[in-house]
Structure 1
Amino acid sequence: MAKSFEVTELPVRSAKFIARKQWVVAGADDMYIRVYNYNTMDKVKVFEAHSDYIRCVAVHPTLPYVLSSSDDMLIKLWDWEKGWACTQIFEGHSHYVMQVTFNPKDTNTFASASLDRTIKIWNLGSPDPNFTLDAHQKGVNCVDYFTGGDKPYLITGSDDHTAKVWDYQTKSCVQTLDGHTHNVSAVCFHPELPIIITGSEDGTVRIWHSTTYRVVIGYDEGTIMVKLGREIPVASMDNTGKIIWAKHNEIQTANIKSIGADYEVTDGERLPVAVKELGTCDLYPQSLKHNPNGRFVVVCGDGEYIIYTALAWRNRSFGSGLEFVWSSDGECAVRESSSKIKTFSKNFQEKKSIRPTFSAEKIFGGTLLAMCSNDFICFYDWAECRLIQRIDVTVKNLYWADSGDLVAIASDTSFYILKYNRDLVSSHFESGRSTEEEGVEDAFEVLHENDERVRTGIWVGDCFIYNNSSWKLNYCVGGEVTTMYHLDRPMYLLGYLANQSRVFLVDKEFNVIGYTLLLSLIEYKTLVMRGDLDRASEILPTIPKEQHNSVAHFLESRGMIEEALEIATDPDYKFELAIQLGRLEIAQEIAVEVQSESKWKQLGELAMSSGKLQMAEECMKYAMDLSGLLLLYSSLGDAEGLTKLATLAKDQGKNNVAYLCLFMLATGYQKLLCSQDHIFQAKYLR
């Protein structure tokens, strides 16, 4: 609890925020209205408002008005800019006025609910109601307006155990919600989702679908927290950069190409795309997807689907279905139930009706039609719906490459990259062999497995781009995973535009964000994986220098260290590669360039072990490795070197090294000992 206000000993039946004034206004059974500043906790105003219990207060969204309703059967309007003067009284109800609420679409009107069984609609400025709805068989406890879309609806709850949805323009009842076993005391429309919430004195809260008016969820004892909606935005982008998304029933479009050429795009920043209204959808969208050529968009939700034209948003086809998927060439399939799937031609004419021998919980489109059970997936060809292969894996999502030769299967904990052997499958079918039970052996070949959870993914050529459970934006080529960016919030992949070399994502607020991913870099890595090194070499000059280290790391992971050394630009990394290859001359050039003592020492030791004594001597001098030089000169019997080393060691304060040099030269070592106050040792060594 953040704050608590002591108001009165009697019940407080209603309190509302006035956010623009930092106030809370409350009405109580002592017939007073009190106003508090919720920041300072100061009492701003106290005044007697009614002659009986105050049931409700309502705040005007823009004007300085507060409505109050009471058991004295009156509704009063208060103006805080006039010292909380009562500027109007609304009379007409013949019983307690339980609730008042302003119409969010026309704030000059408001509705009132009363135990006289009626709802009255009023205008500010007029003491008489516009009209009265004989709403229920018993008293009406609550009322709320629908805020979304164009529907002129309000909802009421009553002591007759029902809630009713009304059209206040036609003054007709749209739907009666039956289910509660006692008085309905609270009702509301969700401000964004197609949800109605009702609360009753039977101890239950029920959540209803506002399109189908069916119960979604209900609970009775205790307290429960329910998450409504979902994080992933309902959005799709075609291969030209046109984006369509659904904000509830409203459909909007944006085009990445609308960003001017003079605008400097920064990775990770929201793109200033121009958003336009495209239309509305007759159902509540739960998924939305372009077909492969971008001409059509399918919207699924509420057990139905509608296919629209992408440009004009015209209804092209519709039907019943839990899921809808596109094939790679524009055909489609619909899962009507777990036991019935239908396929359709490019003109949306029904081709086949399939009844799988298992419970199909999901379907996926792409090169092949895939049907999933809880613990396996079966692939079928689109033409004849023949079984290609069954794979025992729990599938969360499926992503096909545009080539149709690669597919990524994502589970809850990992993902797999598989190769589809199209020619082998074609040969199998041409031979006339049956595939009903086992499918085609070796139709798929597992290339790579990665223990990361894929949130969303797309293919660019043979490169699989995805974001993982840690919200890292990665790409995978040939099994090697590279992290491009760390995302600062949940984002979901929309697509890739090759002409901009950028991958685009969207967040739940429909902000579009772009990140650079060079197409030339992807093509280079893809060609290397295919073994086409000549073509890869032709592409290399088009890759910017700042990406060459990334390329070198990729080549090193493939065991191509020579090629990595040629491409690497970072001196430290290049030095490591040269050491791996035993290319000590190159390593020496790098050491001269960076002048790192640790590199000189490492190189000196390697040169010594390789028998390159001149290089070893030079490296040890740069590294000031006096012990190493002592070992080298003493092994070679180099008196001149020992003499120079003795002098250097004395200058550096390394007296042990200096003494050993002089001792081996049999000259000057006694003098050194005496200078260090070791006279006894000097006498002993005479």
Structure 2
Amino acid sequence: MPLRLEIKKKLSARSDRVKCVDLHPTEPWVLSALYSGNIFLWDTETSSLLKSWEVCELPVRSCKFIARRSQFICASDDMRLRLYNYNTMEKVKDMEAHADYIRFVEIHPTLPYILSSSDDMSIKLWNWEQNWDCTSSFEGHAHYVMMCKFNPKDTNTFASASLDRTIKVWGLGAQQPHFSLEGHDRGVNCLDYYPGGDKPYLISGADDKTVKIWDYQTKACIQTLDGHSNNVCSVLFHPQLPVLVSASEDGTVRIWHAMTYRAETTLNYGLERAWSISAAKESNGLAIGYDEGTILIKLGHDAPVASLDTHTGKVVWAHNNDIQSASLKGVTSDLADGEKLDLLIKDMGSCEIFPQTVQHNCNGRFLVVCGDGEYIIYTSQALRNKAFGQALDFAWSAVGTGDFAIRESLARIKIFKNFKEHRTIKAPISSSEGLFGGACVALKGPDCVVFFDWNEGAFLCKIDVAPKVVYWNETQELLLLVCDEQAFILKYDKDKVDAAIAEDSVSPELGVPGAFEPEHEITDCVTKGQWIGDCFIFSNIAGRLNYFVGGNTMTLCHLDQQSTGPLFMLGFLPKEDRVYLMDRSRNVFSYRALLAVLQYQTAVVRHDFEAANTILPAIPESEHSSVARFLEAQGYKDVALQVSKDPDHKFDLALDLGKLDEATKLLDAAPEQDRDTTESTTKWKRLGDLALANCDLDLAERCASNAKDLAGLLLLHTAAGNRAGISALAANAVLQGKFNVAFISFFILGDVEKCFELLLDTNRIPEAALLSRTYLPSQISRAVRLWREDLRQVSDRAAAALADPVEYPNLFPDLDWALKVEEVFKCNRNKVVPATEYLTAKDDLDLDLVSLMKQTHTDNSLGEKSPIRAKFGSTQKHDTDSSVNQVLSCEATDTKTIDHDVHATPPLKCSVDDEANAILQNDFGNDDDDDDW
């Protein structure tokens, strides 16, 4: 039966004729040697050209990575070998090697040796540790030597292919060949050794259009493969798969079964002649060089063929045709996450077919191996054959020990009960592509999946998605359909299905309506996974180990894949509290995942809080914070606050719940060394905002102080009418360099002198001059003098344009009256207007004090009533102590502050209580004489 290998094209890069390709053993790189004399380095993951080298103007016929030196070597028709560092692109060595075209170079797997074969009919051995000296020359061929290869079983020997129609086998210690293999009718172009240790085979391709397999011990040709219609240019045994590959000038690449020698498939990408093929030891990739570019294909899948029995902790895997096993119990107690397990490997035996999948049944007693279109069921302990047959796909039942189903053809499924055929189902879709087991039989179509009952074979439901795999949980209530870019969780109603089957009410067209209901969607690329209760743990394509529960995806850990390559999940062992993963080289790694945590989260999702509270004590305190985050995501923030051990998380929860006291206690309990950090300051600020929103002004003020939020303190002190607080805030703001806050604080207090000095200290002299013109006319001359001195550094003319009232009094009308108003202001600025008088005092902000002062002087001289007295005489806030004479003589010096309830109407933000003080700011700010400046 065929191997049915999945073939995917990973790279398609157009270029000039490619004479040789080579895959890097660890990096996703392909090296291409071009007939034009260039070498290209391609990235197979991004399909981009990483680097290129212009080697010479003649063809480059061969190139090889030397990964252990971060170099590659190439051979060209100018008869020279060149060595380059592929990281720095530096040419390390350039030497003349042969007397004619060099056809091929070969790297020794362990020693510092390189072989080169040439049209001069010789093979030379080079040693890079001896300054690239030619240590040996092998002559014996009668025509061009097209290729040479080291024997992986015995690296002291190598074979060469020549156009003299022979293959010769040589030893590094002798100048003459050990023997020759003859059988091709025309020149031999290529050869390769079998990479395993069980067969002494060698493969060759020639101009007679055939591929031959040789036994180099008996020197006999054991098989000849026909099929190509032109010269065979390159052949190889794949290092991972039981296939051999040949490339020909007929433009095709043929893949043959390595055991049956049957042609599995023929590839033709329309790029004209195929010249070279290459495969890496630890991957399923195959690089092909054509006349018109480079192709990289992937044969099969990278995931190891393995299965973990979660009942016994035994993992079984296939290595080629050999079945091996190891026990995982007790080997991870002292290991760190991501550390490779040191396993005691047991050889169980060999399988007659090449395994492509290995899978335990529901209770772990039996093991099925599938491949080559066949299946063989073994006992899992002794690997005894239990049953076998031919099938395209195989699926175990989730219930019966010996119950399984096979996809016999595109339209037929057979169900077996206790290893005996039970029922045949005809597929209701035109073409089936896969089969899945579990609580129901699932048949995959091109764009759908169809479910059937195990017992009666009844059609249950058709779902319009095409999953790659289906996972059922242990209770058979939930299933996961894994698609390419997302996964869907469905709920299965077994009782409804059983009732419909018992009543014979299953519809042939609709099945059982409501048998499957969508629950959640996972927007992640799931590679492999396992249900644990209602929790699904899985690895994804991005290299993370996640679990999904209650509609939320959480990350257990990030997998270290830099050194190991991709890791594939085997399963979870509850008794070990660990998840096990395997890489392509069949190394096993483990990560911790506590069963108690998963069970607790499952109980919460099911709203079984009694069970959850029972499980919680079994969870270590180190995991309580992660559990609390899960509870928060589920909406149980009160419980999360009690469970969490993370102070930061508890603080966030306390804020979300509005528990100001709890949040304050958490901040007060912070270590001393953490109290002045940016994080602590931010927390106090957040708490203060919440306290302000809840009208807790005392706590808000404390939070602003601890957060050094001077702007917040200004708002709070202003709102509360806290004159002493604003005064202290102003001084503190100056010390901290918060000059804007300091200026506003001084201004609110009416201390315009300090505002003026603050502007001068911060070198804002023009602003100081304008302030003095509006509020402090006694300092105008000083401000102008300083402004001139500062401006002369830029322009003398501009400095001379500034007018001083001492020098130009005509430009400053009413300045004497403004000075009198300033004196009145200074005498009365400490008086406070109570908030209760706002409605009667607000109109005073629009008064022109200079005009009023002038009118008062005129009225007094005429003996009439003062306008100021007339304005304020009838108001409650101005008694006989606020007479005009007292204002003008500055005798009213009472600075007592009228108390008011901070919870009542906020006080007017004003610090004076007479007519001059009430209008000072707005009046001087609207002085028309400012135009003179």
1:283 matched to 2:353? The reply is yes
| SS across alignment from 2:234 | strand
Where does the alignment leave 5 or more consecutive residues of structure 1 unmatched? 635-640, 664-668
Could you give the per-residue CA deviations for residues 517-548 of structure 1, whole angstroms, max 9, x where no partner exists?
22111111111111111221122222233322
**d(CA) in 1 for partners of 2:330 and 2:629?**
37
1:75–1:44 CA distance, 2 compared to 1 (3 A): closer
Aligned partner of 2:723 among 642, 649, 652: 642
Which amino acid letter does the alignment assign opposite residue 516 of structure 1? R
Which amino acid letter does the alignment assign opposite residue 179 of structure 1? G
Where does the alignment leave 5 or more consecutive residues of structure 2 unmatched? 1-38, 40-51, 86-90, 273-291, 735-740, 759-771, 778-820, 829-933
**d(CA) in 1 for partners of 2:646 and 2:621?**
10
Aligned partner of 1:184 among 232, 238, 261: 232
Instruction: Look up the match of 1:316.
Output: 386
The CA deviation at 1:162 is 1.8
Instruction: Look up the match of 1:216.
Output: 265
Q: Given that residues 314 and 327 in structure 2 are in contact (C-alpha distance below 8 angstroms), is that contact kept between their aligned partners in structure 1?
A: yes
Instruction: Look up the match of 2:412.
Output: 340
**d(CA) in 2 for partners of 1:168 and 1:672?**
103
| SS across alignment from 1:576 | helix
Instruction: Look up the match of 2:582.
Output: 506
1:268 matched to 2:347? The reply is no
1:408–1:682 CA distance, 2 compared to 1 (3 A): farther
1:400 matched to 2:472? The reply is yes
**d(CA) in 2 for partners of 1:516 and 1:246?**
26
**d(CA) in 2 for partners of 1:454 and 1:34?**
50
What TM-score do the two structures reach when normalised by structure 1?
0.83
Identity %: 44
Instruction: Look up the match of 1:417.
Output: 489
Could you give the per-residue CA deviations for residues 499-527 of structure 1, whole angstroms, max 9, x where no partner exists?
22221222223332222222111111111
Aligned partner of 2:211 among 163, 175, 178: 163
- Root mean square deviation of aligned Cα: 4.0
Q: Report matched runs for 1:41-56 at 5 Å.
A: 41-42=92-93
Instruction: Look up the match of 1:627.
Output: 714
Which amino acid letter does the alignment assign opposite residue 355 of structure 1? K
| SS across alignment from 1:236 | strand
1:642–1:194 CA distance, 2 compared to 1 (3 A): same
Q: More displaced, 458-467 or 591-600?
A: 591-600
**d(CA) in 1 for partners of 2:227 and 2:147?**
22
| SS across alignment from 2:153 | coil
1:445 matched to 2:517? The reply is yes
Instruction: Look up the match of 2:423.
Output: 352
1:148 matched to 2:196? The reply is yes
The CA deviation at 1:186 is 3.2
The CA deviation at 1:84 is 5.2
1:655–1:247 CA distance, 2 compared to 1 (3 A): same
Q: Given that residues 63 and 72 in structure 2 are in contact (C-alpha distance below 8 angstroms), is that contact kept between their aligned partners in structure 1?
A: no
1:233 matched to 2:373? The reply is no
| SS across alignment from 1:551 | helix
**d(CA) in 1 for partners of 2:382 and 2:466?**
39
Instruction: Look up the match of 2:279.
Output: none
The CA deviation at 1:464 is 0.8
Could you give the per-residue CA deviations for residues 279-325 of structure 1, whole angstroms, max 9, x where no partner exists?
43333322222222223322222222223333334443322222222
| SS across alignment from 2:329 | helix
**d(CA) in 2 for partners of 1:279 and 1:474?**
35
Aligned partner of 1:610 among 688, 691, 694: 694
Instruction: Look up the match of 1:568.
Output: 644
Which amino acid letter does the alignment assign opposite residue 694 of structure 2? S
1:652–1:302 CA distance, 2 compared to 1 (3 A): same
Q: Report matched runs for 1:189-200 at 5 Å.
A: 189-200=237-248
**d(CA) in 2 for partners of 1:286 and 1:399?**
19
> Is the radius of gyration larger for structure 1 or structure 2?
2
Q: Given that residues 642 and 661 in structure 1 are in contact (C-alpha distance below 8 angstroms), is that contact kept between their aligned partners in structure 2?
A: no
Which amino acid letter does the alignment assign opposite residue 296 of structure 2? V
Q: Given that residues 111 and 122 in structure 1 are in contact (C-alpha distance below 8 angstroms), is that contact kept between their aligned partners in structure 2?
A: yes
Instruction: Look up the match of 2:3.
Output: none
**d(CA) in 2 for partners of 1:85 and 1:650?**
87
Q: More displaced, 606-615 or 414-423?
A: 606-615
Could you give the per-residue CA deviations for residues 202-230 of structure 1, whole angstroms, max 9, x where no partner exists?
34433333234214232251334132333
Q: Given that residues 630 and 657 in structure 1 are in contact (C-alpha distance below 8 angstroms), is that contact kept between their aligned partners in structure 2?
A: no
1:453–1:192 CA distance, 2 compared to 1 (3 A): closer
| SS across alignment from 1:574 | helix
Instruction: Look up the match of 2:543.
Output: 471
**d(CA) in 1 for partners of 2:137 and 2:746?**
106
Q: More displaced, 329-338 or 19-28?
A: 19-28
The CA deviation at 1:460 is 1.3
The CA deviation at 1:25 is 9.5
Q: RCO (CA 8 Å, sep 6+): is it higher in 1 or 2?
A: 2
Q: Report matched runs for 1:82-97 at 5 Å.
A: none
Instruction: Look up the match of 1:295.
Output: 365
| SS across alignment from 2:527 | strand
Instruction: Look up the match of 2:622.
Output: 546
1:127–1:584 CA distance, 2 compared to 1 (3 A): closer
Q: More displaced, 38-47 or 534-543?
A: 38-47
Could you give the per-residue CA deviations for residues 388-418 of structure 1, whole angstroms, max 9, x where no partner exists?
2221222222111122111111222221111
Instruction: Look up the match of 2:597.
Output: 521
Instruction: Look up the match of 1:368.
Output: 440
1:559–1:5 CA distance, 2 compared to 1 (3 A): closer
Instruction: Look up the match of 1:175.
Output: 223
Which amino acid letter does the alignment assign opposite residue 442 of structure 2? A
**d(CA) in 1 for partners of 2:124 and 2:684?**
87
Q: Given that residues 643 and 661 in structure 1 are in contact (C-alpha distance below 8 angstroms), is that contact kept between their aligned partners in structure 2?
A: no
The CA deviation at 1:180 is 1.4
1:486 matched to 2:534? The reply is no
Q: Given that residues 447 and 465 in structure 2 are in contact (C-alpha distance below 8 angstroms), is that contact kept between their aligned partners in structure 1?
A: yes
The CA deviation at 1:361 is 0.9
The CA deviation at 1:369 is 0.9
The CA deviation at 1:656 is 5.5
Q: Given that residues 97 and 115 in structure 1 are in contact (C-alpha distance below 8 angstroms), is that contact kept between their aligned partners in structure 2?
A: yes
Instruction: Look up the match of 1:304.
Output: 374
The CA deviation at 1:472 is 2.7
**d(CA) in 1 for partners of 2:704 and 2:63?**
82
| SS across alignment from 1:524 | helix
What TM-score do the two structures reach when normalised by structure 2?
0.63
Aligned partner of 2:631 among 545, 552, 555: 555
The CA deviation at 1:151 is 2.5
1:17–1:565 CA distance, 2 compared to 1 (3 A): closer
Instruction: Look up the match of 1:683.
Output: 823
Q: Given that residues 26 and 35 in structure 1 are in contact (C-alpha distance below 8 angstroms), is that contact kept between their aligned partners in structure 2?
A: yes
**d(CA) in 2 for partners of 1:97 and 1:646?**
98
Q: Given that residues 156 and 165 in structure 1 are in contact (C-alpha distance below 8 angstroms), is that contact kept between their aligned partners in structure 2?
A: yes
1:429 matched to 2:501? The reply is yes
The CA deviation at 1:277 is 4.0
Q: Report matched runs for 1:51-90 at 5 Å.
A: none
1:175–1:434 CA distance, 2 compared to 1 (3 A): same
Q: Given that residues 460 and 506 in structure 2 are in contact (C-alpha distance below 8 angstroms), is that contact kept between their aligned partners in structure 1?
A: no
1:535 matched to 2:583? The reply is no
Higher helix proportion, which one? 2
Q: Report matched runs for 1:11-30 at 5 Å.
A: none
Which amino acid letter does the alignment assign opposite residue 544 of structure 1? P
| SS across alignment from 2:338 | coil
1:4–1:150 CA distance, 2 compared to 1 (3 A): farther
| SS across alignment from 1:228 | strand
1:256 matched to 2:256? The reply is no
**d(CA) in 2 for partners of 1:63 and 1:617?**
76
